[in-house]
Amino acid sequence: MSDASSTGAGIPPIGSITILRIVCLILALAALLAAFGPPRRIAQGFRWRLARGAPVLFHRLLCAGLGVRVRRYGALSGAPIQLIVANHISWLDIPVLGSLGAMSFLAKKEIGDHLVARELAALQGIVYVDRGRRLRLPSVNDAMAKTMREGTPVVLFAEATTGDGNRLMRFRSSHFEAVLEAARGPQPNEAIVQPIYLDYSRFAGLPLERCDRPRVAWYGDTSFLPHFLVFARGGGVICDVYCGAPILVWPGLDRKTAARQTEAAVRELAAMARASPPIFLEREKS
């Protein structure tokens, strides 16, 4: 019986080795925040290069501490304005993507209500959205567009929630308006949408089967701590990141068309990833 079935009922029993590993992770996280937080804030104020590089290093160290190995297939676009759109499976998605390059994330407002999450958000760079107040969507899109115009890609999980990793949900179009707005800015520049498919392919050295996906996927009513403990018990995980061809933002493109094109591109990446053997570009080192 899969340990993942216990995630909805409470915290599963854990051994002393797992407890030691979790304590070490917490201490390492605190040390990383203390080491990277203040320099990052200073660098942001002076617009130093460190402001972009520190979060990437932080996420790479965090992935190493969590036992997450990231394998990238294909290349990320170097376009000056870009919206990165990916499927959403787990809380692990943020350190996985953040380890690949400088980027900001669109996140629920509730994340900022927790001290540790707020500090992590300040380190990484977050645009908050209150999904209960649709009238504020234009201001959120404005903030996203401003971030992209300043040269930092913004990550959008267009499903608007996490899933089990077995299927893609319909992409919502609301925040695709942000990249269209960025492209229409006072200094128009090349803008693209970068489709990405995340595939957690192996867990504890074994292929991640459909029935075992809840060990990694965090969705539904599962609380974070029980899910984290289940993940910590199981050992390392491999996440394959598939980068598709950039979708150019052209004059006249509307947000719904952009969302449909991006969803189709991510579904194509998913099909390639699930082929046996995988049909894709040569893997690039991450």
CA distance 239 to 259: 24
Residue 29 token pair:
């996280």
State yes or no: pLDDT of 284 exceeds 90.
Answer: no
Predicted confidence (pLDDT) per residue in 114-153, tens digit:
555 555 656 666 776 765 566 578 999 999 999 999 899 9
Mean pLDDT of 178-198: 90
Nearest to 192 by CA among 75, 83, 103: 83
Give the model's pLDDT for residue 41.
56
Percentage with pLDDT > 90 across the chain: 37
Query: How many C-beta atoms surround the C-beta of residue 71 within 10 A?
Result: 16
Split at pLDDT 50, 70, 90, the class of 161 is confident
Give the model's pLDDT for residue 217.
85
Mean pLDDT of 251-278: 90
CA distance 190 to 286: 25
Mean pLDDT lowest for which of 1-5, 46-50, 147-151, 177-181?
A: 1-5
Q: What is the mean pLDDT of the chain?
A: 78
DSSP type of residue 250? -
Predicted confidence (pLDDT) per residue in 228-259, tens digit:
777 877 768 999 999 999 999 998 999 999 99
Q: Is 154 helix (H, G, I), strand (E, B) or coil?
A: strand
Mean pLDDT of 60-68: 85
Peptide bond into 251 cis (omega under 30): no
Structure-token match 């994330």, residue found: 105
Q: Which residue has the higher pLDDT, 224 or 181?
A: 181
Split at pLDDT 50, 70, 90, the class of 211 is confident
Give the model's pLDDT for residue 67.
87
Give the model's pLDDT for residue 141.
94
Give the model's pLDDT for residue 2.
38
Domains of the chain: 3-274 (3.40.1130)
Classify residue 146 as exposed, middle or buried by CB count within 10 Å of its CB (0-12, 13-18, 19+).
Answer: middle
Strand partners, 240: 71, 199
Characterize the bridge pairing of strands 206-207 and 237-243.
Answer: unpaired
Contact 263, 168 (CB under 8 A): yes
Residue 230 token pair:
């289940």
Residue 228 token pair:
């984290």
Structure-token match 């996440």, residue found: 239
Q: Is 129 helix (H, G, I), strand (E, B) or coil?
A: strand
